[in-house]
Amino acid sequence: MHVVKVPLEDRSYPVLIGTDALARLGTLCSRHKLNRRCAIISDSNVARLYGKRTKQLLSSAGFDPIMVTVRAGEKSKSLDSVRGCYDELAAHRLERKSFIVALGGGVVGDLAGFVAATYLRGIPFVQVPTSLMAQVDSSVGGKVGVNLKAGKNLAGSFYQPRFVLCDLETLETLPEREFRSGLAEVIKYGIIYDAALFKRLERDLEKLIQRDPQTLSPVIARCCAIKAEIVGQDETEGGLRAILNFGHTIGHAIEAITGYGKFLHGEAISIGQVAAARLSERLRGLPKHDVGRIECLFARAGLPIHLRLNEAQRQRLLDAMMLDKKVSGGDIKFVLAGRIGQASHGHKVPTALLRRELAHLAERTSV
């Protein structure tokens, strides 16, 4: 079992990663002195696979869980789902000292975390991420929230869980496309922070795609450690934390204009990261060779790296980017990489260059 600590003073917490980690849920909840009454928030897919077991694990450890299930998919990351969850919690009389277990992928974690952050002005919660995306990214660091019509993650909070429990076995039931989508975040950590990880991914990608636990476990732990290190220095994204958004400005805009759900998040940010790599080449001197390596790794992971857009769609994409949370004073700020393993944030990209890059989204340059 790998244990990574997210260092946030009195809100510090561990991320535990291992095979059959789920079995330890009850013990961990007891050790964290959580109260009896709780709600498992999950989605229709994950609840079917792991809902009953999770409920039994909690019950047999002396907890009293109810099950709240939302429909699987990005559309559930909405204010309507938040309202639905509130109503269920209130109907079952969950109190201030009750807690929430977020059992599922990124959508469930973000939604359940936001519900926990705001129900009765905040109750404790626990993350049990069951997708690769959620294990390496969304469950760690306390960003919770939902989408608005106007854009992704526009409503939310910073609210930290009591602990995060990543069970590698839950990845076995993950659909292929979802798993590959998670790899987009894994690759991101290599690009922005860790050249050695990037090389390891180039070397071990096939074993990762086969979901070999021996290969997966240290990679997931390394991703969580990088995230913990960054979040520990900048919890509310005053600066450094922004580098985690490499590829996300364009990625989020792609999700917004195509209607959430057409592209998975990892697919959208795969396209976004390749575009950001090209912008990095122009503006930060990222070697052309490394742009090629980045494109190649995403392509090998089976992720999209291009997107055909007509003029009107490009304009909508630009408009959507203007709503990004990183916009400041009307300027879109980009995360760019000077080289693989080293990204920095706050780079203004001239609109003309951005338009040209969007026009080139349809072309693969290499691979």
Regarding 64 and contact with a copy of itself (CB under 8 A), the answer is no
Q: Is 214 exposed, middle or buried (0-12, 13-18, 19+ CB in 10 A)?
A: exposed
> Which stretch, 150-158, 163-171, 184-192, 347-355, contacts a copy of itself (CB under 8 A)?
150-158
323 binds a copy of itself per the rule CB under 8 A = yes
Cα 199 to Cα 290: distance, rounded to the nearest angstrom:
11
348 binds a copy of itself (CB under 8 A): no
Window 173 to 202, contacts with a copy of itself (CB under 8 A): none
Select from 44, 41, 51, 306 the least CA-distant residue to 170.
51
Among 104, 156, 190, 341, binds a copy of itself (CB under 8 A): 156
Evaluate whether 190 touches 197 at the Cβ level (below 8 Å). yes
CA distance 128 to 135: 8
- State which of positions 236-275 bind a copy of itself (CB under 8 A): 236
Q: Residue 153 carries which side chain, given as an amino acid letter?
A: N
CB 24 within 8 A of CB 165: yes
* Active-site hit among 74, 185, 255, 267: 185
Name the active-site residue from 237, 255, 281, 295. Answer: 237
Which of these segments, 146-154, 167-175, 306-314, 335-343, binds a copy of itself (CB under 8 A)? 146-154
Q: Say how far apart CA 93 and CA 100 lie, in whole Å.
A: 13
DSSP class of residue 328 equals B
- Binds a copy of itself (CB under 8 A): choice among 12, 59, 328, 351: 328
325 binds a copy of itself (CB under 8 A): yes
Q: Considering only residues 75 through 94, tell me which ones interact with a copy of itself, judged by CB under 8 A.
A: 79, 82-83, 86-87, 90-91, 93
Q: Which amino acid is at 278?
A: R
For residue 232, the tally of other CB atoms under 10 A from its CB is 17
What is the Cα Rg of the chain in Å? 20
Catalytic hit among 45, 147, 153, 245: 245
Whether 121 sits among the annotated catalytic residues: the reply is yes
Nearer Cβ to a copy of itself (296/318): 318
DSSP 153: E
The minimum distance between CB 154 and a copy of itself, in angstroms, equals 6
26 near a copy of itself, rule: CB under 8 A:
no
Cα separations (Å) of 103 from 19, 51, 110? Answer: 16, 8, 11
Q: How far is the CB of 119 from a copy of itself (least distance, A)?
A: 6
Question: For residues 121 and 308, which CB has a smaller minimum distance to a copy of itself in the complex?
Answer: 121
* Residue pair 116/34 in contact by the 8 Å Cβ criterion: no
Q: Which residues of this protein are in contact with a copy of itself, per CB under 8 A?
A: 35, 79, 82-83, 86-87, 90-91, 93, 95-97, 117-122, 143, 145, 148-151, 153-158, 236, 322-323, 325-330
Q: Catalytic positions, please?
A: 121, 143, 185, 227, 237, 241, 245, 248, 252, 265
